Structure 1
Amino acid sequence: MSTSMQGMDTEYARSVGQNMGEHAGQVAGVVSSISAMIQGLNWQGSDRRAFENDWTGSFAPSATACSESLGDQGRVLCVHADRQDEVSR
């Protein structure tokens, strides 16, 4: 007889999902904090404009989207754990 688990360890899955959400919030906080620091940077000229354009036009939106996706996936994992519990009753 096999002792391996089939299905999902729902308690652990919820813990992972919640952890994903917490880390997503941390990523969003870092992006916001760095954006504020960049705004306060004493730097003039075309290099600054190019850097800010890269930051605001590409990197920050991509990092924010990744943060949102990480949070979404954490919530999805929790939903799967709930569903697994429902069918296991």
Structure 2
Amino acid sequence: MTIRFTQSCPTCGRRVQIRASLIGYNVACQHCNAEFVAEADADDHSSMNESNVPRAIVPDPLMARVEEALQRAAENRAISS
């Protein structure tokens, strides 16, 4: 499952769908080929096209796995207490 968001191209203004894993990287507009940095507004998940958007967008898959492991550990501690 790939999480994507839309961002307006700063050159031509058209909306471009971008993979969330590319946040912070240079991307090229598919319409005018202008390059810009992919930036998702952390408070606006309305542009995300997946129903289960994570609380924080983690560009690195390894970090996503670390976050999941930490959450499971916290849940296990809560159950054990």
The question of a shared fold, defined as TM-score above 0.5 by the shorter chain, is answered with: no
Greater helix share, structure number: 1
Q: TM-score range by the shorter chain?
A: 0.3 to 0.5
**Higher relative contact order (Cα pairs below 8 Å, separated by 6+ residues):** 1
TM-score under structure 2 normalisation? 0.33
TM-score under structure 1 normalisation? 0.31
Greater strand share, structure number: 2
